[in-house]
Amino acid sequence: MEPINEAHVAVPGLAVVEVAACDDQTAFTVQVLLATRWATATADHTIPDPGQPGVRLRCYLDVRQTLSS
């Protein structure tokens, strides 16, 4: 994965979340759960980690913006 860019965490309330999961479905399920709670820039694909089991997914959260229920 690419390094985290300073702009992604420039102010309090912004976060970068990396998910390590056994498969795509699990990684995307975690992303959906995060997106139901906070404003989220979602990823559309996972990235295999060469030499490691499973996949990784990175998404960006703005926890200052809670979603209404």
| Domain chopping of the chain, boundaries | 8-66
Look up residue 59 and give its two tokens. Answer: 């998404």
Rounded Cα distance between 15 and 60, Å, is: 6
* Residue 1 reports pLDDT greater than 70: no
Beta strands in 1-69 (DSSP E): 14-21, 38-41, 47-48, 55-66
- Predicted TM-score (pTM) of the model is 0.79
- pLDDT score at 49: 82
Express each pLDDT in 2-50 by its tens digit.
677 676 677 898 888 999 999 999 999 999 999 998 888 889 999 998 8
